[in-house]
């Protein structure tokens, strides 16, 4: 009888989690079909790399924002003919012969942002190479979205040889709309005023929740950058991770070492146990995400208000209970 009772409890918990997940998706299931947006793409990567140096004046005229006045033309001329970058251009052209197929996904991101922030003006996309700066795959500035195509050539591309697996697993074409959304989110969510571990976790949670809103049909694993296996570990061990933070009184700690252990980009999180290698990196971001989701499910608050709220206030009102 006891075993049957335990099974009923587990079944009930599973059903409750499914209901919560469905409620979250329903909240963000908005109609953006009638929101007008334009996706304008300028292929600087094609116009610049591998071109004749004689074309440099015309290229500078077309893309004045790409050429700081203090940099001499000799530097740009050398960059145009750099053998590594010309090889990169060959790889990029093979993966992205055109970007028309990506326009609907990018337009969908812009529509969702404009739904929640009507004053948002969709930027022009400028494609370029950034020498594999995987921390800044896309940069949103003023009216421009600078997209580094060298970060989306496919995790098995030979040109990524030597890059750690946990980094190149997110260097695929399907990561491109996510990177664009992330770059815009970075400008919308201010850093936390509090330096506590809890505030930092929830600040990342705010950003990930905005990705929920802007990319409602995108898998969670793609939004946070976890492999399928690491995503599974995060879901199955959410309660254990939270209890670890509670038991060691980490929530209100300002120890910056916690950033390296649980918030910064890394192959795994550092609990200093045999579980480390199985865990995903920056698990604190995942926990912060679940706290913000819990808050938004329990409170009728707009995205605009949520991103401005103090992180500790969000925590108090979230009544967060981790998955078991």
**pLDDT range class, residue 275, cuts 50, 70, 90:** confident
Structural tokens at position 164: 């750690």
Q: pLDDT above 90 covers what percent of the chain?
A: 85
Final residue in a domain of this structure, among 188, 212, 231? 188
User: Do 171 and 207 lie in a common domain?
Assistant: no
Select the more confidently predicted residue: 179 or 323: 179
- Is residue 99 scored above 90 in pLDDT? yes
Q: Convert the pLDDT of each residue in 37-51 to its tens digit.
A: 999 999 999 999 999
Runs of H (alpha helix) within the chain: 2-27, 44-48, 56-62, 73-80, 83-95, 103-116, 165-168, 176-188, 197-214, 220-224, 228-236, 238-247, 257-262, 283-298, 303-308, 311-318
- Does the residue 19 lie in any domain? no
Last residue within a domain, chosen from 158, 188, 218? 188
Instruction: Establish if 146 belongs to a structural domain.
Output: yes
Whether residues 125 and 153 fall in one domain? yes
Do residues 155 and 215 both lie within one domain? Answer: no
Range from 158-162, 201-205, 283-287, 303-307 carrying the lowest mean pLDDT: 158-162
- How many other C-beta atoms are found inside a 10 Å radius of the C-beta of residue 22? 11
Asked if residue 271 belongs to a domain, the reply is: yes
Reply yes or no on whether the pLDDT at 240 is more than 80: yes
Whether residue 32 lies inside any domain: the answer is no
Average pLDDT value for residue range 75-87: 92
Write out the residue range of the structural domain in which residue 178 sits. Answer: 41-188
Is the residue at 162 inside a domain? yes
Nearest to 261 by CA among 239, 249, 245, 246: 245
Q: How far apart are CA 275 and CA 280, in angstroms?
A: 10
Read off the pLDDT band of 1 (50, 70, 90). very low
Q: How many domains does the chain have?
A: 2
pLDDT of 7 higher than 70: no
pTM metric for this prediction: 0.90
Helix (H, G, I), strand (E, B) or coil at 124: strand
Q: How are beta strands 144-148 and 124-128 bridged, if at all?
A: parallel
């Amino acid at each position: 009888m006891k075993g049957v009772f335990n099974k009923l409890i587990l079944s009930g918990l599973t059903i409750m989690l499914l209901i919560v997940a469905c409620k979250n998706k329903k909240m963000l299931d908005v109609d953006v079909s009638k929101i007008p947006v334009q996706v304008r793409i300028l292929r600087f990567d094609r116009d610049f790399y591998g071109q004749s140096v004689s074309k440099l004046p015309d290229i500078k005229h077309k893309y004045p924002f790409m050429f700081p006045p203090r940099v001499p033309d000799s530097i740009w001329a050398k960059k145009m003919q750099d053998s590594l970058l010309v090889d990169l251009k060959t790889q990029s052209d093979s993966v992205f012969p055109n970007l028309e197929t990506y326009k609907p996904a990018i337009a969908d991101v812009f529509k969702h942002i404009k739904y929640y922030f009507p004053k948002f003006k969709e930027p022009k996309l400028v494609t370029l190479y950034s020498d594999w700066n995987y921390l800044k795959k896309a940069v949103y500035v003023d009216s421009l979205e600078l997209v580094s195509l060298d970060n989306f050539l496919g995790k098995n591309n030979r040109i990524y040889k030597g890059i750690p697996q946990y980094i190149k697993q997110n260097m695929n074409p399907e990561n491109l709309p996510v990177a664009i959304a992330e770059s815009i989110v970075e400008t919308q969510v201010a850093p936390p005023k509090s330096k506590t571990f809890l505030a930092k976790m929830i600040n990342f949670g705010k950003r990930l929740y905005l990705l929920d809103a802007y990319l409602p049909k995108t898998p969670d694993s793609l939004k946070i950058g976890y492999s399928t296996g690491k995503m599974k570990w995060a879901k199955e061990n959410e309660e254990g991770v939270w209890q670890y933070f509670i038991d060691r009184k980490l929530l209100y700690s300002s120890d910056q070492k916690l950033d390296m252990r649980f918030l910064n980009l890394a192959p795994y999180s550092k609990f200093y146990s045999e579980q480390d290698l199985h865990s995903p990196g920056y698990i604190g971001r995942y926990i912060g995400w679940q706290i913000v989701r819990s808050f938004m499910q329990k409170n009728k608050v707009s995205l605009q208000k949520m991103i401005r709220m103090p992180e500790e206030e969000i925590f108090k009102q979230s009544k967060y209970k981790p998955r078991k």
